[in-house]
Amino acid sequence: MDFLESIHNSWKIINRSKARSFLTMLGITIGVMAVIIVMSVGAGAQSLILNQVKSMGSNLIGVLPGASEDDGPPASALGVVVTTLTYDDGKEILDKGCDCIESLTMYVSGNDSITRDDTSVNTTFTGTTASYIDVEDAAVEFGRFFSEEEEKGVAHVVVLGNEVKESLFGDQNPIGLRLRIKKINFTIIGVMEKRGVSGFQNQDDQVFVPISTAQKLLLGIDYVSLIRAKVDTAEHVEQAMDSVENILRDRHDIATGEADDFSVRSMAQGLEALSMITNALKFFLVAVSSIALVVGGFGIMNIMLATVQERTREIGLRKAVGAKSSHITMQFLIESVVITFLGGGIGILLGIFISIVVAQVAQAMGYEWDLVITISSILLGCGVSIGIGLLFGISPARRASKLNAIEALRYE
């Protein structure tokens, strides 16, 4: 009897008790399906996040207050307030730093309600510089952004994010109108173009004020929480980072051998850290969904043990007519592998189907979602289901092969 014939015979036996075989398969089907979906949706979500960050530009560098390890997040990113970075630091970097730094902007921000007459919305106000438009590659839809004079001169002007404009003014043109932030009057001079969600933040749900105004009138601080610089080409990023570090160490009087009190980061580093985090998440999810596979495996083992028990006489007979122990082992092993392979195959198909649905829905909702189904995840699904059949089938099969033929024939 050759291998194909054994598979055919197992198929016939599985077909005999369809309901039981189906329920046995279900565990493996769900497990494999979960792994395929998690791998595909995980990769899709990862590409979505990375694409969004990439769209912010690969030639940006950021300077954050507070020291950090190379791979870890800086203290300020974890919400600790560090006050070592100032407006003058930023200006000096632009003046004396590497020529490759094209432009530079700085940020402070806070949250408060913004009031127009008796309507108010709670939103983020960002204090920044006139060069924001250039560095962030943003644009105003109508009106104008504030000037360098306004940036330095504590001007009471505000530029609205698109969403804030919508919710406060609707279709009305707000240019020249007034609104209040923290009971201070501001004149609206512009409205930003719609930018969408980028880097975990809704760019349209904020208002922009000159940095000096935000520092002195709204927040009462004299430091900045982020400096962002635009480098002319991606190749010059390293050089630019070095020059920023030198200038700041000098300005902050940091002796040789002492650690920086600030952190310089490039988008490339950020992307790397982000991929590491998202990868870890993805593998964690795969590991969790693999639990279903293990549970399914024990289900197979349970059923195969019951099958062996049920077919004791058959095993005894097969031995009496000349089957070797190895024949019996193979018979039951092939049977459990056929079940798991079938279950796994169905799981792969369902997993692919659901991944496609998820991608379609995400794309319909306007996300940049890539449908990622790799050959390797399909092969992994096949391999895992065969492996589980072998792993969890071996013990029932060996039990069958060790049955004593005489006792087995007498078994009732």
Partner 1 sequence: MSITKLIQVENLTKQYENEEVVTKILHGLTFDIEKGEFVSIMGPSGSGKSTLMHILGFLDKLSTGVFSFEGRDVSQLNDDELADMRSKKIGFVFQAFNLLNRASALENVMLPMLYTDATKKERTNRAKELLTQVGLEHRMEHSPSQLSGGEKQRVAIARALVNNPQVIFADEPTGNLDSKSGLQVMKILQDLNEEGNTIILVTHEKYTAEHAKRILKIRDGLIVDDSLVTQRQLAGLNGELTK
* Nearest Cα to Cα of residue 209 among 326, 108, 292: 108
Is 1 a binding residue for partner 1 by CB under 8 A? The answer is: yes
| Complex with partner 1: residue 20 or 156, whichever CB lies closer | 20
Among 327, 394, 395, 398, which residue interacts with partner 1 (rule: CB under 8 A)?
Answer: 327
Say if residue 148 is exposed, middle or buried (CB neighbours under 10 Å; 0-12, 13-18, 19+): exposed
Angle between helical axes of 18-54 and 375-402 (0-180°, round to 10): 150
Q: Per rule CB under 8 A, is residue 364 in the interface with partner 1?
A: no
What lies within 8 Å, CB to CB, of 58 at 6+ separation is 234, 267, 268, 271
152/327 with CB nearer partner 1: 327
- What does the block give as tokens for 370? 């890539």
If the CB atoms of residues 236 and 318 are measured against partner 1, the closer one turns out to be 318
Under the binding rule (CB under 8 A), the answer on residue 265 touching partner 1 is no
In Å, the largest CA–CA distance within the chain is: 102
Site string for partner 1, 12-31 (x = CB under 8 A): -x--x---------------
Check the CA dihedral 395-399-400-401 and report its sign. positive
Name the residue type at position 375. I
* Among positions 79, 170, 176, 322, the unique one binding partner 1 when judged by CB under 8 A: 322
**Shortest separation between residue 308's beta carbon and partner 1, angstroms:** 15
**Binding string, 83-102, against partner 1, x = CB under 8 A?**
--------------------
* 172/326 with CB nearer partner 1: 326
Nearer to partner 1, 194 or 324 (CB): 324
Element holding 119 (H helix, E strand): strand 119-128
Q: What's the closest the beta carbon of residue 12 comes to partner 1, in angstroms?
A: 8
Span of 71-79, 105-113, 317-325, 365-373 interacting with partner 1 by CB under 8 A:
317-325
Using CA atoms, how far residue 196 sits from 65, 193, 262, in Å, is 27, 9, 30
- Report in angstroms how near the CB of residue 320 gets to partner 1 at its nearest: 5
Distance CA 230, CA 226 (A): 13
Asked if residue 320 binds partner 1 (CB under 8 A), the reply is yes
Q: Of 13 and 358, which has the nearer Cβ to partner 1?
A: 13
Region binding partner 1 by CB under 8 A among candidate stretches 91-99, 215-223, 226-234, 325-333: 325-333
Residue ranges binding partner 1 (CB under 8 A): 1, 5, 13, 16, 313-314, 316-327, 405-406, 409
